[in-house]
Amino acid sequence: MIFIPVFGPALIFYVLDYLTLIIIIPGFLFALWAQYRVKSSFAKYSKIPNARGITGAEAARKILSQANVYGVSVIPCRGNLTDNFNPKTGTINLSENVFGTPSVAAVGIAAHETGHAIQKAKNYFPMKIRSILVPVTKIGSYAALPLALIGIVIEWLAEASGNFGTALIALGIFLYSLSAVFALITLPVELNASKRARRMLLSTGILTAEETKRAGKVLSAAALTYVAGLTVSLLYLLRFIIIILSLRRNRR
């Protein structure tokens, strides 16, 4: 599943100032370029059928069988590049142009999502950490700004309560930083899934060595979107810290 972060609620009132443009826009452009790369790579290798005529769904099921992973369903889902593995339902959801398509790109994407299913079955530690961070990150993104602003107001109203206000500001920054931590944990999870995919495609004979190399180009382009996601998350965190510190300084 391709992930590119969008403007978070903590920055909604600040996206138009010059500092935001300087900090955020380069990262956002990098994310757009990464998205273009994965779409163009997928489009290119979607036109190349694999020698064995194996569809994405067939490849996923064969890899699961070879890895002795059971209880995982492979089902179609709507959309383009909406492929994902849902650890809660134990389903590999493949988009329409992957599920029933015997292309090199389709098999590569299906193998990648199957890699996530294998990670869960093998208790891959980074994936477990990412699953734990999902709800915490959602809560943190909404609670960070209010907590930091309350801390600033407390510092402003009562100097004696300044330590408590400072603690709230620090907590707000910490909560907002969880989105960057989530992106950081996501990167090795995705890279590992792609590594597993390449290895299984070769070992099972689903793709030839040359076809695996081509599928790998699609997966490498997809991995770039996660690098972009981490970059943008770090830039958002930097901007959030600058905003909070600026507000704090103006209140004093």
- Classify residue 108: in a domain, yes or no: no
What's the confidence (pLDDT) of residue 6? 41
Cβ neighbours for 81, distance < 8 A, ≥ 6 positions apart: 2, 38, 39, 42, 95, 109
Instruction: Give 11's pLDDT tier (boundaries 50, 70, 90).
Output: very low
Quote the number of domains for the chain: 1
In a domain, 228, yes or no: yes
Question: CA 102 to CA 82: how far, in whole Å?
Answer: 18
Q: Work out the burial of residue 242: count CB atoms within 10 Å of its CB; fewer than 13 is exposed, 13-18 middle, 19 or more buried.
A: middle
Answer with the residue of higher pLDDT: 29 or 11: 29
Assigned domain for 133 exists = yes
Cα–Cα dist 112/221, whole Å? 13
Rounded to the nearest integer, the mean pLDDT of the chain is 87
Q: Does the pLDDT at position 228 exceed 80?
A: yes
Q: What is the pLDDT of residue 248?
A: 67
104: in domain = no
Domain membership flag for residue 65: no
User: Residue 240 is part of which domain span?
Assistant: 9-49+124-251
Lowest-confidence segment of 173-182, 194-203, 240-249 by average pLDDT: 240-249
Active site residues per annotation: 113
Q: Is the CB of residue 107 less than 8 Å from the CB of residue 56?
A: yes
Chain segment 39-62, per-residue pLDDT in tens: 999 999 999 999 999 999 999 999
Do the domain assignments include residue 82?
Answer: no
Classify residue 226: in a domain, yes or no.
yes
100, part of any domain: no
pLDDT band at 18 (very low <50, low <70, confident <90, very high): low
Query: So what's the pLDDT on residue 4?
Result: 39
**Helix axis angle, 104-121 to 162-203, nearest 10°:** 120
Phi-psi region of 168 (alpha: psi -120 to 50; beta: other; left: phi over 0): alpha
pLDDT at 101 over 80: yes
Indicate the pLDDT class of residue 241, thresholds 50, 70 and 90: confident
Report pLDDT digits (tens) over 141-193: 888 878 888 887 777 776 555 577 778 888 888 988 998 999 999 999 999 99
Query: What is residue 153's predicted lDDT score, i.e. its pLDDT?
Result: 79
Alpha carbons 196 and 110: distance in angstroms, whole number: 12
Q: Which two tokens stand for residue 199?
A: 């290895």
pTM value is 0.83
The per-residue pLDDT for range 124-148, each reduced to its tens digit, is: 999 999 989 888 888 888 888 788 8
CB 154 within 8 A of CB 161: yes
The first and second tokens of residue 249, run together, are: 């300084």
